[in-house]
Structure 1
Amino acid sequence: MASKLISPMLSINLIFRSCSTGNGIKCFGFTYYPRFPDHKDPPYEPAKLFRVQRVKPVKGNPYWEKNILKMLGLIGKSSDIAIVKNIPENNARLWKIKHLVKITPITFPYGPPTEEDIGSTYLKENGELIVARKVKLDGSRLKASEEFENDQTKLDGETLRKDSRLKWLRAW
């Protein structure tokens, strides 16, 4: 039991030791101190867009937070949802109002939309942008369908119903 209580402190001490020795990895705007020296992060593709939804009321917040919400389009006659680009300027704004909004990365499970797909997309609450592609007609399939409908040897529905009824009534 005592070893479980001490182990978090040991890991914190190791992290502080690596911070004080300067073994950090310099990144844009911060220094990253990995737990283990040979630690490699898995490859990750960041989302290009965010779905930002206001979840707290605007009333009672300072004017600078209200200004950021207004810039993002989360205050006013429009809805409480905005689509925001994943760029450093917007990320800094979102960081300042993170307690007022819910941020969900937008993914494209069926590929990104094209100019033709503008009216046929749907953004789900979990951040999936569903693109309903238009069905393309194939001339050969259309011709085969017409031939099947106009075939004289094919039995139509009315004939099948009559034949089935007669077989039911006179089974022997």
Structure 2
Amino acid sequence: MFKSTINICSSNIHHITLVRNFGKHNKKFLYNDGIKVQNIIYYPRENCPQNIPQTTEPSKLFKVRRIKPLKGCPYWEKRILRDLGLYESNAIAVVKNIPENNARLWKIKHLIEILPIIFSYGEPIESDINYTFLKEDGECVVIKELQKRKLRDNRLEAAINLTKKKETMDGETLRKDSRLKWLNPW
């Protein structure tokens, strides 16, 4: 630790010594104390092995949602958001997990929320596009082809059975019944 001192003297002021310390910052962790897992160095608390994440396969896609306003953001952050399709408020985009996109997401990480997309029922193929939806928690649900046909057949049979029943009410009877229930609900 080095010290530099400055002595200030004048006729009416007492002798003042200013001290400024030079030296290295005291680091909490030494650089060689970390545990390396897949090119990422972890510094666990009190050398606990349970703090180290298990090796899992990374997600292929991310669900990205903008959560902060654009007011006051620099133009380069606005440009990245516009390129990703997140310029409107609460917009959602699906982004590939590749290094180029990860670098862009890192620059705007304070403006967005990132969730990995999980394919619980298998990845969709080209014909499954109309029968695929994404949940709020990042789970992608795909309805497979066999289930689609079964659902279509069940719906068709239910519609045919409903039209053949004689106990069903027509539109005029439903309107009168609804009006009576509105006027006298008890």
TM-score, structure 1 length as denominator?
0.58
Q: 2:128 maps to what in 1? A: 117
Q: 1:9 maps to what in 2? A: none
Distance 1:93 1:28, change over 3 A: farther
Q: What is the CA–CA distance in structure 2 between the aligned matches of 1:79 and 1:131, rounded to whole Å?
A: 24
Distance 1:29 1:67, change over 3 A: farther
Match of 1:66 among 52, 65, 78: 78
Q: What is the CA–CA distance in structure 2 between the aligned matches of 1:23 and 1:97, rounded to whole Å?
A: 31
Structure 1, unaligned runs of 5 or more: 1-12, 143-156, 158-172
Structure 2, unaligned runs of 5 or more: 1-25, 154-164, 166-186
Match of 1:91 among 99, 102, 106: 102
Distance 1:58 1:117, change over 3 A: same
Q: 2:143 maps to what in 1? A: 132
- How many pairs align? 125
Q: 2:6 maps to what in 1? A: none
Query: Could you list the per-position Cα deviations for residues 71-117 of structure 1 after superposition, in whole angstroms to 9, with x for gaps in the alignment?
Result: 211126x9811100112221221122112111111001101011211
Comparing both structures, which one devotes a greater share of its residues to helix? 1
When Rg is computed on C-alpha atoms for both structures, the one with the higher figure is 2
Which piece of structure 1 moves more, 113-122 or 29-38?
Answer: 29-38
Identity of aligned residues (%): 53
Q: Residue 59 of structure 1 aligns to which amino acid in structure 2?
A: K
CA drift of 1:34 comes to 4.2
Q: What is the CA–CA distance in structure 2 between the aligned matches of 1:94 and 1:59, rounded to whole Å?
A: 18
TM-score, structure 2 length as denominator?
0.55
Distance 1:27 1:64, change over 3 A: farther
Q: What is the CA–CA distance in structure 2 between the aligned matches of 1:117 and 1:38, rounded to whole Å?
A: 42
Match of 2:116 among 88, 91, 105: 105
Q: What is the CA–CA distance in structure 1 between the aligned matches of 2:57 and 2:38, rounded to whole Å?
A: 17
Distance 1:56 1:34, change over 3 A: closer
Q: Residue 45 of structure 1 aligns to which amino acid in structure 2?
A: E
Q: What is the CA–CA distance in structure 2 between the aligned matches of 1:95 and 1:108, rounded to whole Å?
A: 24
Q: 1:162 maps to what in 2? A: none
